[in-house]
Amino acid sequence: MSLPERRFLRACRRQSVDRTPVWFMRQAGRYMEEYRALRKRYSILQLAKTPELACEVTLQPARAMPVDAGILFADILLPLEPMGARLRFAPAPVIDNPVRRAADVRRLKDFDVEEGLGCVFSAARLASRALAPRPLIGFAGAPFTLASYLIEGGPSKDFARTKTFMHEQPAAWDLLMRKLRRVTADYLAGQVRAGAQAVQLFDSWIGALSPSQYRRFVLPHSRFVLTAARKTGVPVIHFGTGTAGFLEDFASAGGDVIGVDWRVELSQAWRRVGARGIQGNLDPALLLAPRRELKKAVQDVLRQAAGRRGFIFNLGHGLLPQTPVSSVKAVVEWVHEYSR
């Protein structure tokens, strides 16, 4: 691969790049008309479980704009189904048999990821070949985020059930997290075998915890997954939202690159995480702003990055569904133009 084609992977390893690489969380998805057309015919689970369709959705943004990497289209909750969770979307994810007691944890199955998640690996093989020479990013939900969905039965604003479970049933919580971390580590390794050239661990809801809760109930399990992922030899990105209160602890769990959201300035983030790559951290809502304000925000992020090695431009969380595709394309062009 030429230098431009390798810039994302080089940045992950804190090597020199010709310009800042850029990709977006949720860059494959509902903000694109091509994706919405497919969703009129297929459910989310049908798209994610049909390799050819998942590959097509992965490629849609890569065809539309010069992003520096593609991220595999899937859903973070897919590993829960082979464990015994009854998952559906209505339209948000719903788990009809949530985990509420120790007995529910014990009933969760261990499974072989090649058998239970083979459709994802098939999609990764197709997408990695079709996306080349640009790299494919694989991903998984982190143990805490998966556990919160299992316990809450779906999304939550306060995570009251999850926090109560952690404190009232700590032994059952640790058993749940050990089961989830094994599955997650195997799942990421399977994606690498199938062609992913980097992986990202999403801890989307981790900001709901206090620093002490994170250290006691989550950090050892995230560290297990991230350590295992690093052994695959590909760069590992560790992403969470709302981590400003315990960013040092979050980074200590592992990851070659630490994702930060818009609540932390990049210069401060580097002081706190040390010699790591940083990914971030534009507020996704700013892509709905007037074009001149959006350009200023992009330039401000690049100014904060200050040309440091190991910077990957991204959002602080995923693209919002109402985001104009033209704004996404403009951000990619500006990042490449202003970071030469």
How far apart, in Å, do the first and last CA atoms of the chain sit? 19
DSSP 8-state code for residue 82: T
Query: What top-level class would CATH report for the domain 3-338?
Result: alpha beta
What integer pLDDT is reported at residue 340 of this predicted model?
Answer: 87
State which amino acid sits at residue 5.
E
Give the other-Cβ count within 10 Å of 107's Cβ.
12
Whether 75 is catalytic: yes
Q: Which residue's structure tokens are 């350009």?
A: 295
* Identified catalytic residue from 30, 193, 216, 308: 30
Give the other-Cβ count within 10 Å of 303's Cβ.
12
Angle at 214 between CA 243 and CA 186, to 5 degrees: 95
What integer pLDDT is reported at residue 234 of this predicted model?
Answer: 98
Whether 30 is catalytic: yes
Is the Cβ–Cβ distance between 93 and 152 less than 8 Å?
no
State which amino acid sits at residue 195.
G
What integer pLDDT is reported at residue 2 of this predicted model?
Answer: 62
Collapsed DSSP state (helix, strand, coil) of residue 126:
helix
HSE-up (13 A, CA, CB side) for residue 49: 13
* Identified catalytic residue from 6, 68, 75, 272: 75
Sign of CA dihedral 57, 130, 195, 53: positive
Give the strand pairing for 93-95 and 277-282. unpaired
Sign of CA dihedral 179, 148, 261, 60: positive
* Identified catalytic residue from 26, 125, 134, 181: 26
Q: What are the residue ranges spanned by the domains of the chain?
A: 3-338
DSSP 8-state code for residue 85: -
Is the Cβ–Cβ distance between 325 and 64 less than 8 Å?
yes
* Identified catalytic residue from 13, 19, 39, 178: 39
Q: Exposure string (b/e) for 68-106, b if CB count within 10 Å is 16 or more?
A: bbbbbbbbbbbbbbbbebebeeeeebebeebbbeeebbe
Give the other-Cβ count within 10 Å of 274's Cβ.
10
**Tens of each residue's pLDDT in the chain, 340 residues:** 666 669 999 999 999 999 999 999 999 999 999 999 999 999 999 999 999 999 999 999 999 999 999 999 999 999 999 999 999 999 999 999 999 999 999 999 999 999 999 999 999 999 999 999 999 999 999 999 999 999 999 999 999 999 999 999 999 999 999 999 999 999 999 999 999 999 999 999 999 999 999 999 999 999 999 999 999 999 999 999 999 999 999 999 999 999 999 999 999 999 999 999 999 999 999 999 999 999 999 999 999 999 999 999 999 999 999 999 999 999 999 999 999 8
Residue 155 CA to its chain's centroid (Å): 16
What integer pLDDT is reported at residue 1 of this predicted model?
Answer: 61
Q: What is the pTM of this model?
A: 0.97
DSSP 8-state code for residue 241: S
What integer pLDDT is reported at residue 73 of this predicted model?
Answer: 98
Is the Cβ–Cβ distance between 297 and 289 less than 8 Å?
yes
